[in-house]
Amino acid sequence: MTLILIVLLPFLMAALPRLAGRAHRRRCALLAACAPALSLALLLAHAPAVFDGTVLQAGGPWLPAIGLNFTFMLDGFGFLFALLILAIGLLVILYAHYYLSAQDDPSRFFCLLLLFMGSMLGVVLSDNLLLLVVFWECTSLSSFLLIGFWRDRSEARQGARMALAVTGAGGLALLAGVLLIGYITGSFELSEVLDQREMLQGHPLFPLALILVLLGAFTKSAQFPFHFWLPHAMAAPTPVSAYLHSATMVKAGVFLLARMYPLLGGNDLWFLLVTGVGLVTLVFAAWVALFQQDLKGLLAYSTISHLGLITLLFGLDTPLAVVAGVFHIINHATFKASLFMAAGIIDHETGTRDLRRLNGLARYMPVTATLVAVAAAAMAGVPLLNGFLSKEMLLAKTVAIDTGTWADWLIPVMATLAGAFAVAYSLRLVHDVFFNGEPVGLERTPHEPPRWMRVPVELLVVLCVLVGVMPNLLVAPLLDVAVSGVLLGNVPEYSISLWHGFNLPLAMSVVALLLGSAIYFGLQGGYNLHLYRDDGVSAKRLFDRLLETTVSIARLVTGGMQNGSLQRYLWLMVAVTLAAGALPFFLDDYSLGDELLLPTNGAAIAMWLAVVAATVATVALHRRRLLSLIAVGAVGLLVSLTFVLFSAPDLALTQLSVEVVTVVLLMVALRHLPATTPVEGSLPRHLRDALLALAAGIGMAALAYAALTRPLASISTYFLEQSVPKGGGSNVVNVILVDFRSFDTLVEILVLAVAGLTIHALLSGFAAPGRGPVPDPHEARPLMLRVLARLILPFALAASVYLFLRGHNEPGGGFVAGLVTAIALLVQYMASGRDAVPGRAHAGAPGPAAPPGEEGFDRWIAAGMFSVGLTGLGAVLIGFPFLTSSYAYFDLPLLGKVPLASAMFFDVGVYLTVVGSTMMMLASIGRVTTVPGQPAGPTPPAPDAAARAVRMEAS
């Protein structure tokens, strides 16, 4: 549990700095430091167990169906990373407190920083690979927000976007790779997957999985050719650069390499890709770093180069190289974070990071100069500092390569060369900033920073020295346990020491030191690095070009497809659906089954003829709208007769009542629409539509016929058997609706309720401009209808109560009862005018009383949804899942022995919602009033307008 808290605390406490408000920087920083301090304490509490070699695990299932579990694992390697993240995080918070200016919002900054910290901890402590990917994406997102912290600066926004695009794309590749690994090994838990190396590497999909995972690692760790986002990420505030873009986030890539090494390493492809990319990055970035004019740019390229070095070490594929890699991760984090913070101090005190203007600062800030000089020496690999030790190990490992190819000599030579470049750029950093003449055009005289702003730098630099002098005392146990985590306990024999005697690696170190000094002073003296201008083909330009092309292609496609015509979208949609539906017809054979068919009888043929006739009439008469509406009503009635024929009385009842309501609604709407449809559209267009319609019809008929002639394997036996014992009702359809699948029904009536409310919002109180139907208070209502309607109402309501009560055992139920009630009210409406409806609703039906106006029906809907939700929650209250139902038998007069299920209350809710929504729709549409005396509303377009419409359609 405490293990999970280590990761969750930064997330949980991320909002704390927000509480302090932007005006209190100190309070923000203090609150922000709480989470890492607590997490660090928890982590250290686990230290004894971790150093004993146990692997701690915690967590539980999250979405077990897809293999995503909320599981965490703490071993030595995870411990090392968590320690780096939390310790450097604390230092960065302290540093940022002094770094941020009065204009910056510290609460937002620290909140984002904590979110990042939690994500990073999640990456290094996740046991589940999918969870790791989730946190991985979180680091990309929080990095995006932090790079873009100064959102008013365009280079910050661009840099943030570029970092997100590159690392986000890499994250997708990683996800794909992880899914492949899970597919091959059958598990997403790191602790289980790591044992399955043989099986995974023997699989034909292994190379693909390897490349995808490496893509994720390389983009995150800014390896060539994906390195270009990191220099642009330097637009971030410097604490962010120190924390994310040198010490932690970019290390996530090499972390992944190390984590996956036991699983994915040990084959030629791994060696080739990881070593190759690492080597190119190491040399290339070290060379480019030399020519940067921006202080942070130099550090960024140096970071890329060092990440290349670590990548190279993991690529070498020997246990000893892994030791060196892990060691360099620790060392690089200490000296590079201190250098970045020092760069921030210089920027803070002088107002610039331009190496051409920063000169001779040693006189103004001697302490900072000393600190930077020591850290830079560590970066260059000068003896007695930590950088020397790991670099020496690297050189020894490159010498030890024995593949029998040209790589045996190429890699040591390139490594020495990169070492020389590192010496050169470190020299430039120190020499150019603190010596080399006088500062140029500074706005103010620089001086030392506030005391506590320098403390984090001092601490880290002291660590550099101490580790460099006494490696075995300080860092060996941590390194040991971390390496044992990477190599699954098989730690090789190794020794860290300052002096291994005169050997080849030492000679290479000396060569690098001398050559590097020569390169720097040679370049600076003969050529003056300050005059160098970078105007070649940059990766940024390529990236921008790629982005622009993608956007313009997307725009072309969207613009070509979407011209704003709904009619066009509709036919495209039908065509695409049709194509998708037609594909199986052509890929597989279309064949009929050999089930016994039902014999045809005369009634069925008559009904078929009637359906066809009514349908044809609907189409043929569709220009005369009232007639076609009547035809459509006929089709609906015939459909409900079809349900009667095929033993589905529930459907027949529902279809019948829905039909009535729909036709009435359409009739009411027709008062607001033109009575006829004009002739329009070109011949080719009609042909195309006819073709689509015919194809759709033939396809549906063929599909239905094929299915009907094949044998049926239904899961309905379960519902038929369990309906009475479990649901307490013999009407299986109703029991399915209100019990077995009641959640579906809940959402369904929700849809109905939303439809009703939306119609209300669209039309309620809408005064239509134009020549619609003018309300006539003295409009004559047919006397017969008025009288009949009054008479019918009680009977209809009684019928709906009856249908409702018997619904659980006989055809009926909440839906039908609701619709019958609605129809009864509808008849009142038609007979007595719209004002009659709410009054009837008030007098005639159960449920809350409706106040005047159609707004009363929203209460019906609310009461219905409330009743449904309450039924569901009732089950939760007594300890069952949502919507579990129970029942008991009761004796009721007239109806006999009736099982009263809790589902009954659910059905009451269905009833109320159906009545409320239906009446809401009708009342809203019926109440649209028109303002008389204004010019025309929707009328059939005049001939010239029609002609214009035709032309537009044809285009």
Among 215, 244, 658, 836, binds other proteins (CB under 8 A): 658
Span from 271-279, 370-378, 667-675, 881-889 in contact with other proteins (CB under 8 A): 667-675
Q: Provide, rounded to whole angstroms, the least separation between the CB of residue 824 and other proteins.
A: 17
Among 557, 619, 873, 954, binds other proteins (CB under 8 A): 619
Q: Provide, rounded to whole angstroms, the least separation between the CB of residue 817 and other proteins.
A: 13
Q: Which is nearer to other proteins, 164 or 658 (CB)?
A: 658
Among 689, 773, 848, 866, binds other proteins (CB under 8 A): 689
Nearest to 918 by CA among 852, 850, 822, 841: 822
Q: Provide, rounded to whole angstroms, the least separation between the CB of residue 754 and other proteins.
A: 8
How many beta carbons lie within 10 A of that of residue 103, not counting itself?
8
Among 4, 56, 692, 862, binds other proteins (CB under 8 A): 692
Among 192, 534, 548, 680, binds other proteins (CB under 8 A): 680
Q: Which is nearer to other proteins, 525 or 933 (CB)?
A: 933
Q: Which is nearer to other proteins, 359 or 745 (CB)?
A: 745
Among 1, 712, 783, 784, binds other proteins (CB under 8 A): 712
Q: Provide, rounded to whole angstroms, the least separation between the CB of residue 690 and other proteins.
A: 7
Q: Which is nearer to other proteins, 250 or 653 (CB)?
A: 653
Residue 889: which residues within 8 A CB-CB, separation 6 or more? Answer: 897, 898, 899, 900
Strands, DSSP E only, in 684-810?
767-769
Burial 167-190 (b: 16+ CB within 10 A, else e): bbebbebbbbbbbbbbebbebbbb
What are the distances in angstroms from CA 826 to CA 397, 657, 821? 89, 12, 8
Burial 483-506 (b: 16+ CB within 10 A, else e): bbbbbeeebeebebeeeeeeeebb
Among 815, 857, 906, 911, binds other proteins (CB under 8 A): 815
Among 583, 700, 788, 843, binds other proteins (CB under 8 A): 700
* Interface of this chain with other proteins, residues 743 to 772, rule: CB under 8 A: 744-745, 748-749, 751-752, 755-756, 758-759, 762-763, 766, 768-770, 772
* Interface of this chain with other proteins, residues 594 to 613, rule: CB under 8 A: 595, 597-601, 604-605, 608, 611-612
Span from 129-137, 257-265, 560-568, 887-895 in contact with other proteins (CB under 8 A): 560-568
Helix residue spans in 442-492 (DSSP H): 451-469, 471-474, 476-486
CA dist., res. 161 & res. 155, Å (int)? 10
Among 522, 697, 775, 851, binds other proteins (CB under 8 A): 697
**Residue 485 binds other proteins (CB under 8 A):** no
Nearest to 577 by CA among 699, 745, 702: 699
One character per residue 30-59, x = contact with other proteins (rule: CB under 8 A): ------------------------------
Q: Provide, rounded to whole angstroms, the least separation between the CB of residue 677 and other proteins.
A: 5
Bond prior to 446 in cis (omega within 30° of 0)? no
Among 226, 287, 719, 905, binds other proteins (CB under 8 A): 719
* Interface of this chain with other proteins, residues 196 to 215, rule: CB under 8 A: none
For other proteins, how many residues bind (rule: CB under 8 A)? 126
Span from 196-204, 322-330, 643-651, 887-895 in contact with other proteins (CB under 8 A): 643-651
Span from 376-384, 774-782, 848-856, 945-953 in contact with other proteins (CB under 8 A): 945-953
Among 683, 780, 784, 952, binds other proteins (CB under 8 A): 952
* Interface of this chain with other proteins, residues 11 to 30, rule: CB under 8 A: none
Span from 26-34, 100-108, 590-598, 897-905 in contact with other proteins (CB under 8 A): 590-598
Please give the DSSP secondary-structure letter assigned to residue 738.
I
Q: Provide, rounded to whole angstroms, the least separation between the CB of residue 643 and other proteins.
A: 7
Q: Provide, rounded to whole angstroms, the least separation between the CB of residue 615 and other proteins.
A: 5
Q: Provide, rounded to whole angstroms, the least separation between the CB of residue 859 and other proteins.
A: 19
Q: Provide, rounded to whole angstroms, the least separation between the CB of residue 807 and other proteins.
A: 11
CA dist., res. 435 & res. 379, Å (int)? 19
CA dist., res. 755 & res. 381, Å (int)? 71
CA dist., res. 269 & res. 275, Å (int)? 10
CA dist., res. 937 & res. 13, Å (int)? 59
Burial 757-773 (b: 16+ CB within 10 A, else e): bebbeebbeeebeebbe
What are the distances in angstroms from CA 164 to CA 145, 248, 300, 311, 331? 9, 16, 17, 22, 27
Convert 108-127 into a string of H (helix), E (strand) and C (coil).
Answer: HHHHHHHHHHHHHHHHHHEC
CA dist., res. 788 & res. 831, Å (int)? 9
Nearest to 215 by CA among 272, 274, 134: 274
Nearest to 739 by CA among 727, 729, 722: 727
Please give the DSSP secondary-structure letter assigned to residue 354.
B
* Interface of this chain with other proteins, residues 914 to 943, rule: CB under 8 A: 914, 917, 921, 924-925, 928, 935-938, 941
Helix residue spans in 100-193 (DSSP H): 106-125, 129-147, 154-185, 190-193
**Residue 707 binds other proteins (CB under 8 A):** yes
**Residue 129 binds other proteins (CB under 8 A):** no
**Residue 858 binds other proteins (CB under 8 A):** no
Q: Provide, rounded to whole angstroms, the least separation between the CB of residue 676 and other proteins.
A: 9
What are the distances in angstroms from CA 167 to CA 179, 219, 268, 366? 18, 5, 26, 39
**Residue 570 binds other proteins (CB under 8 A):** yes
* Interface of this chain with other proteins, residues 400 to 439, rule: CB under 8 A: none
CA dist., res. 628 & res. 41, Å (int)? 78
What are the distances in angstroms from CA 37 to CA 1, 58, 83? 17, 21, 11
Q: Which is nearer to other proteins, 371 or 634 (CB)?
A: 634
